[in-house]
């Protein structure tokens, strides 16, 4: 299982998990992808995240945020995080560094931003997912 982690689990990690799942399935990889947040509270995906993912044919409307747990971390083969700060928090919690992958150079949180901000975040996530797939021996992500 691949776990994707951000802060609130309403914007970045649900978008990244959905993109990663779509790309893995397109490559015939039967790998489960889940997401969680360091400060999640059961909220739905942000309306802007739902809208920009719908542009790429991905439906986040049923998503509800959930908190990161030690059990989820233990179940994950790999954990993708949005920022080096998230990686540091996980390492301090005892997660082995080799299990953690930072998407891109860090994906800024678009929470509260406009639709253009969310599109830029989605596109940065797609580039990070591309790098993740490449480093794991899979073909480049198809650009939408």
Active site residues: 6, 12, 109
According to DSSP H, which parts of 12-110 are helical? 12-26, 47-54, 70-75, 84-92
Burial 22-32 (b: 16+ CB within 10 A, else e): bbbeeeeeeee
What percentage of the chain's residues is helix, strand, coil (to nearest 5)?
45, 15, 45
Three-state secondary-structure class, residue 17: helix
CA distance 26 to 20: 10
Strand partners, 35: 4
Token digits for 140? 């480049």
């Amino acid at each position: 299982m691949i776990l994707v982690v951000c802060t609130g689990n309403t914007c970045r990690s649900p978008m990244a998990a959905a993109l990663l799942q779509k790309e893995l399935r397109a490559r015939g990889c039967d790998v489960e992808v889940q997401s969680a947040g360091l400060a999640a509270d059961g909220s739905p995906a942000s309306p802007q995240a739902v809208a920009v993912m719908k542009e790429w044919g991905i439906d986040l409307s049923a998503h509800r945020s959930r908190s990161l747990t030690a059990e989820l971390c233990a179940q994950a083969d790999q954990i993708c995080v949005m920022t080096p700060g998230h990686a540091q928090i996980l390492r301090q919690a005892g997660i082995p560094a080799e299990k953690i992958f930072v998407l891109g150079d860090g994906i800024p949180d678009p929470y509260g931003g406009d639709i253009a901000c969310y599109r830029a975040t989605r596109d940065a996530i797609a580039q990070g997912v591309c790098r993740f797939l490449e480093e794991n021996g899979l073909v480049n992500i198809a650009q939408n």
